[in-house]
Amino acid sequence: MQGQRTPIESGCPDGFQYMHPTMRKNYGNWAYHEDPRPGVLKHTSRSGEAIYTVRAGTQRILDVLTLRKLCDIGDQYAEGYVRFTIRSNIEYMVADGNKVEPLIEALEKEGFVVGGTKNSVAMISHTQGWLHCDIPGTDASGVVKSMMDELIEDFKGWNMPNRVHITTSCCQINCGGQGDIAINIQHTKPPKINHDLVANICERPSVVARCPVAAIRPALVNGKPSLEVDEKKCICCGACYPPCTPMQINDPENTKLAIWVGGNHSNARSKPTFQKLVAAGIPNNPPRWPEATAIVKKILQTYKDNARDWERLSDWIERIGWPQFFELTELPFTKFHVDNWRGARRSLNASTHIRF
Ligand code: SF4
Ligand code: SF4
């Protein structure tokens, strides 16, 4: 049509232009891959060509100087092609196998850690935390950094029975939170409402609609339209806080961490599984979160000592049973920890019907 302006295209650019030429050339034609050493993958194509990938962990939220340093290493020691994985690793692709060892040396000299492949503890996937999101109750980056500092040998080596994926989540309702081990926020008190602000800031019907257990009602407080929460019903999920910041739920004392284990998306050897709660009420204790880190390390050590080769954490627990899991890890067991899915009909909102 005459006079119509050209559309502005935004969103992800085409990834092919950034791919290593060997990858581009052999797209869809890869035959198999090998693991020459921890942190390195070798993919061989049906044409006989091969490409090596060298993986280093990063802290995800990177400053410009570190990014430049990583890119300079890529230009000098690799072939100028990198990509970031969803677990915040940087990967360098090289077609020449002789470049792998000098590249690893250069990365390690600058303090980067190479690993995270095969049966290692992969980089913890983390959510935004205090820097980028508007609702976090903890700093995912900080939790990840302090835990990975303690798990560095398990990232660098193939020490585990199978791969271990750990996730964090800095609120109770949104991203993150399903892995072999998940460290999630757990609110333990209902939100505190600032009634002076609700009418100015919040769209009350949408806040009422957000509550999964219908615990929020419109109310008139001091002559102003506001909201009230039936605290007996409230499950302290924090879902009302994003659309209505005067319903503050983050709290230095009552916002805790919880650890869940046994989540598995893949169905390679067994069915996908949901994770289950095994430790709750753990102090949300920056800057190093020592209590949560100690529990994660204990679970990993027990898994490492007891699981059979190639058993994922969920397979191992399935084989030994939950009572033995708690016995071996020495975690206190209460009736709230493990919910079975037959009983979950009552304790989880598994249907569209609201139950009171
Ligand atoms: S987990 Fe929650 S708080 Fe953290 S980044 Fe995602 S939405 Fe924000
Ligand atoms: S915290 Fe969750 S359950 Fe409680 S009032 Fe808010 S939305 Fe409802």
Q: What is the pLDDT of residues 71-95, one digit of tens each?
A: 999 999 999 999 999 899 999 999 9
Ligand in closest contact with the CA of 241: 2
Percent of the chain beyond pLDDT 70?
93
pLDDT at 342 over 70: no
Which residues does a 6 A CB cutoff place in the pocket of ligand 1?
A: 127-128, 133, 135-136, 140, 169-171, 174-176
Name the pLDDT band for 269 (thresholds 50, 70, 90). confident
CATH number of 192-235: 3.30.70.20
32 CA → ligand 1 middle, Å = 37
6, HSE (Cβ side, Cα atoms, 13 Å): 3
Domains 129-188+252-337 and 192-235 share a fold: no
User: What's the pLDDT at 105?
Assistant: 98
Percent of the chain beyond pLDDT 90?
74
pLDDT tens readout for residues 3-55: 788 877 778 888 899 999 999 999 999 999 999 999 999 999 999 999 999 99
User: What's the pLDDT at 272?
Assistant: 84
φ/ψ (deg, to 5) at 280: -130, 165
pLDDT at 347 over 70: no
Atom of ligand 2 nearest to the CA of 249: 1
Ligand in closest contact with the CA of 354: 2
| CATH architecture designation of domain 16-114 | 2-Layer Sandwich (3.30)
Atom of ligand 1 nearest to the CA of 135: 3
What is the C-alpha R_g of the chain?
24
Beta bridge partners of 258: 184
Question: By C-alpha distance, which of 299, 345, 338 is closest to 322?
Answer: 338
Choosing from 206, 236, 245, 250 the residue with most ligand 2 atoms within 8 A of its CB, the one to mutate for a pocket test is: 236
Rounded mean pLDDT, 269-288: 89
Q: For the chain, what are the domain ranges?
A: 16-114, 129-188+252-337, 192-235
Choosing from 172, 208, 216, 356 the residue with most ligand 2 atoms within 8 A of its CB, the one to mutate for a pocket test is: 216
pLDDT at 338 over 80: no
Q: Which fold has domain 129-188+252-337?
A: Sulfite Reductase Hemoprotein; domain 1 (3.30.413)
Ligand in closest contact with the CA of 134: 1
Beta bridge partners of 166: 181
